[in-house]
Amino acid sequence: MAETSNPRPRVLYPASGPEPPFPLRMEGAVISGFGRGSKELGIPTANLPVDAALTPWIADARSGVYFGWASLALPAAHPDSASRTTETETETGTAGSASSSSSSSPFQIYPMVMSIGYNPFYKNSVRSAEVHVLHSFGADFYDATMRLLILGFVRDEKDYNGLDALVEDIRIDCDVARQSLAREAWTPAEGVVGGAKGTFDGAWLVR
């Protein structure tokens, strides 16, 4: 399966920032997915309920791969929770809510890549939304509230001849997300875990 000279571009859209209909918002509690061992492949995906009552745009959304920012409110006991990463900000009495990004929000922001659709490789009959967060977590976070600001479309869903080809394409999707999001006008001003601040308005993610 080798590294064919894959012609896919690694940066999508103009540097000036997201364009309509983006950003699209989605929010929900992380649920169990299909249990297919995505984690063993190195690509765990946090599944969110697909519910048009909560996420009106989703019924009409094109199936495929998208990228953007995810925020997570992790419980205090989680190794990556905001209250653990920065307990050094002692100004106020908001115990356990200091984050590396200065706000008093329990939400922390991470880059993400996601799939919305039927996973043609597995021929699902129900539409799923699954988010691969581009961060290495110390523990799972089922039930945590996740918010998404989806900033762009990457590609249509595809069927593949084998799992290796699917995984290779997902790795490129991750690369595309990282590089496209790294630009200033695409990066939240609110701060990102382990990253620089940009000029994009990500206030909804941490409110």
Catalytically annotated residues: 130
Q: How far is residue 41 CA from its own chain's centroid?
A: 17
Which option in ligand RBF, ligand ADP, Mg ion, none does residue 35 bind, with CB closer than 5 to 8 A by kind?
ligand ADP
Stretch touching ligand RBF by CB under 6 A, among 73-81, 94-102, 166-174, 195-203: 166-174
Q: Does residue 53 contact residue 27 with C-beta atoms inside 8 Å?
A: no
Which option in ligand ADP, ligand RBF, Mg ion, none does residue 32 bind, with CB closer than 5 to 8 A by kind?
ligand ADP
Site string for ligand RBF, 136-165 (x = CB under 6 A): ---------------------xx-------
Q: Give the chain as a DSSP string.
A: -TT------S--S-TT---TTPPEEEEEE-B----S-TTTTT---EEE---TTT-GGGGGSPSEEEEEEEEEE--TTSTT-HHHH-----SSS-TT---TTSSS-SEEEEEEEEEEE--TTTT-SS-EEEEEESS--SS--TT-EEEEEEEEEEE-----SSHHHHHHHHHHHHHHHHHHHTSGGGSBTT--TTS---SB--HHHH-
Site string for ligand ADP, 82-121 (x = CB under 6 A): ----------------------------------------
Stretch touching ligand ADP by CB under 6 A, among 19-27, 40-48, 61-69, 80-88: 40-48
78 part of the interface to ligand ADP, by CB under 6 A: no
Binding residues for ligand RBF, total number by CB under 6 A: 20
113 part of the interface to ligand RBF, by CB under 6 A: yes
132 part of the interface to ligand ADP, by CB under 6 A: yes
Give contact residues for ligand ADP (rule: CB under 6 A). 30, 32-35, 38-39, 44-47, 132-133, 135, 137, 140-142
